Amino acid sequence: MAVDYTTHDGVAVITLNNPPVNGLGLATRAGIVAGMERAQNDPAITAIVLTGAGKAFSGGADITEFNSPKAMQEPTLATVIKTVENSAKPVVAAIHSVAMGGGLELALGAHYRLAAPGAQIALPEVKLGILPGAGGTQRLPRAIGLEAALNMIVTGAPVLSEKLAHHGLAQSGLFDELVEGDLGQAALAFARKVGAQQGPHPKVRERKIEHPNAEGFIQFARNSVAGLAKNFPAPLKCIDAVEAGVKNGFDKGLAFERECFVALVQTPESRALRHAFFGERAASKIPDVPADTPVREIARVGVIGAGTMGGGIAMNFINAGIPVTLLETKQEALDRGLATIRKNYEANVKKGKLKPEALEARMALITPTLSYDDLKNADLIVEAVFEELGVKEQVFRRLDEIARPGAILASNTSTLDVNRIAAFTKRPQDVVGMHFFSPANVMKLLEVVRGKETAKDVLATVMKLAKKIKKTAVVSGVCDGFIGNRMIEQYIRQALFMLDEGALPAQVDRAIEKFGFAMGPFRMSDLAGNDIGWAIRKRRYQEYPEMQYSKIADRLCETGRFGQKTGGGWYDYKAGDRTAYPSKRVDEMIVAYSKDTGIARRKIGDEEIVERLVFALVNEGAKILEEGIASKASDIDMVYLTGYGFPLYRGGPMLYADTVGLYNVERAIRRYAAQPNGHAWQLAPGIAELAAQGRGFNG
Ligand code: 3H9
């Protein structure tokens, strides 16, 4: 049963009971209407309490139902709210924990609202690329005022119930009472009281929106969201809908809101945002590791290496209140690492993101050491030393000697074989990869690399810990580069081939940045350091002699142009200025390279640039799926959205491929495979198979 109905001395209690968050799916909606009817028809009932069981009042409309006929089926949420609002017997919403989206809209349809403190109140629809579609844009401004409501609607940010309860007069606030004690009992008592009063009972829709200069404020809001709304249609539609209600009254506003909702639900941007919402949650689920797998306790962490990476990794744990023992081989390196961490925190204090006293508290959680013995009590040890197997071997053999039994031993390697690293110990089941992305204290992505012997409880522990340190963790199997870097290598290969064939760095970057990437491959490479890719390529040439690469990047590196740090790379840079200026010298070098290698340069269009770069990701992603390196397409998308600057409004490479249609992706890849340099394209069989079935990676 999605809804429970009970009676208590003249009060009917309708309890949403649809775990996990009382989503307002069809069964729940029908249950509420049935409960309302039952209460109306029972002469013994004088008032109705509407509440939620478990961990929410309601998390809103059931997002899984969107784009399915169920979403439109009666009773729709609008019908449910109308039923509540038009009830002759007063309805009291008793809100606790979470009232979001349609959940809050439902509560706004009630005549009275009580809330427990600490409840998260939000209209977060905008984060899903839509707008509140069941009266939220009309009722919330009438409940809490235009400015506060517009702010909540456009940002989607949750506000604590106690903040809203004290908003102005009780009559103009959202809640009639804030209940410190037993919410259920308080709601019953309140319902009895109002049940005894003569109607009609107050309706939010009948309140007026009072504002001295509504038009001016709405224009101000429009200007403020312009940047935010660049690639997303929803924020401006939110403002339009609120404005429609202000100008034309409740009913017209409501009709306009509905129109906008229906249109927005179908946009690719909304699909992308919903995909990311579920993708984030799906990533934490590993097919063969049950949700109830016991986890190991992680009370103390060791980090080996206090360089940029190790320091950033340590900060993650400290920020979550977990003490860290930070190990280095030399005192000066340790001092330098600690100073960098302190500097990072000081920058946060300056920006007002951290209280000064919190800085010292965080620094106090670090125990610096030069001795491995100090790691013997750590529950998890993350190694962030030089990326070379021999160096990792030394570290893991040493860890095997000193770490306590059951401690998790993690490597932050970005390319090396985690199985070989595990084999340096007598406890390969406790070894796992934790691939953080730089800067590790900022980037959301964590690739959790599962070795062939990694124990299930180790994985479950690391995934839970990732949540605690606010990372989006995605499990990857062992392969060269794991999910993210293995795919980016094909993308960069294509970028370089295009230079040989006729493009220049600035054109490639411009095209892909217009597509929505935060930074094109050449600007990115200049930022990271071209020498890093050079070192990897040198290794590749030996490991995969049959694979063909453009050597133009090597030629660039041979001139010492490693990027921003050397004042020049693919672009020229001026001292103290990160702007990338196209380099005549480099462009000439590229043209000369084409000539030397006998390639006739041609004009390459932006569409080809985008397709070759993005489909290179998609093609490799499809292989990663086939090999079981990633367990689902959305995992790959989460890697790209959180670690590689793929535009969120396109939902990641795999969802983008679905949007384009795999049939079209396949045709494009076959076309590029027939060009010079086409040998780099080995069409993933999975793409052809899914295309033939008219399916996509996501169904
Ligand atoms: C809306 O209301 C439209 C209306 O205006 C108009 C309609 C006409 N639906 O986050 P968690 C699942 S749009 C379906 O890990 P937490 C979630 O997938 C909606 N499922 O828990 C997960 O499933 P699983 C506006 C939902 O405690 C499980 O619940 N509302 C929904 O950290 C636990 O989620 C929102 O945008 C949903 N609405 O946080 C609220 N919500 O266990 C979005 C959650 O299988 N939700 N699930 O992986 C949230 O922000 C958080 O989930 C919430 C709980 C704060 C509620």
Write out pLDDT tens, residues 411-461. Answer: 999 989 999 999 999 999 999 999 999 899 999 999 999 999 999 999 999
Please choose, from the candidates 281, 341, 275, the residue with its C-alpha nearest in 3D space to the C-alpha of residue 308.
341
Ligand 1: residue whose CA is nearest its atom 52: 59
Annotated catalytic sites, by residue?
105, 125
- Do the Cβ atoms of 159 and 122 come closer than 8 Å? yes
At residue 429's C-alpha, the angle toward residues 427 and 431, to 5°, is: 80
Distance (angstroms) between ligand 1 centre and the Cα of 31 equals 19
Distance (angstroms) between ligand 1 centre and the Cα of 60 equals 7
Residue 251: pLDDT band (50, 70, 90) is very high
Q: Would you tell me how many other CB atoms lie within 10 Å of the CB of residue 62?
A: 23
C-alpha atoms less than 13 angstroms from C-alpha of 680 in its C-beta half-sphere: 24
Report residue 229 as tokens: 């709304």
Please choose, from the candidates 175, 176, 151, 143, the residue with its C-alpha nearest in 3D space to the C-alpha of residue 161.
175
Distance (angstroms) between ligand 1 centre and the Cα of 59 equals 5
Distance (angstroms) between ligand 1 centre and the Cα of 23 equals 7
Residue 563 and residue 170: Cα distance in Å, rounded? 60
Q: Is the CB of 265 under 6 A from ligand 1?
A: no
Q: Which of 63, 68, 130, 277 to mutate to test the pocket of ligand 1 (most atoms within 8 A of CB)?
A: 63
Q: Is the CB of 128 under 6 A from ligand 1?
A: yes
Beta bridge partners of residue 6, listed in sequence order: 13
Query: In whole angstroms, how far apart are CA 573 and each of 529, 563, 670?
Result: 13, 8, 39
* pLDDT given at position 679: 86
Residue 394: pLDDT band (50, 70, 90) is very high
Please choose, from the candidates 282, 641, 310, 314, the residue with its C-alpha nearest in 3D space to the C-alpha of residue 463.
282
* pLDDT given at position 415: 86
Residue 169: pLDDT band (50, 70, 90) is very low
Residue 345 and residue 325: Cα distance in Å, rounded? 18
The answer, yes or no, to whether residue 170 has pLDDT greater than 50, is no
Got the DSSP string for 375-443? GTT-SEEEE---S-HHHHHHHHHHHHHHSPTT-EEEE--SSS-HHHHHTTSS-GGGEEEEEE-SSTTT-
Q: Which residue has the higher pLDDT, 309 or 229?
A: 309
Q: Give the position, in ligand 1's atom list, of the atom nearest the Cα of 56.
A: 56
Q: Is the CB of 467 under 6 A from ligand 1?
A: no
The answer, yes or no, to whether residue 610 has pLDDT greater than 80, is yes
* pLDDT given at position 230: 83
Query: In whole angstroms, how far apart are CA 691 and each of 394, 626, 628, 695?
Result: 48, 15, 20, 6
Q: Is the CB of 107 under 6 A from ligand 1?
A: no
Structure confidence by residue, pLDDT tens digits, 634-656: 999 999 999 999 999 999 999 99
Average pLDDT for residues 690-697, to the nearest whole number? Answer: 96
Beta bridge partners of residue 435, listed in sequence order: 447
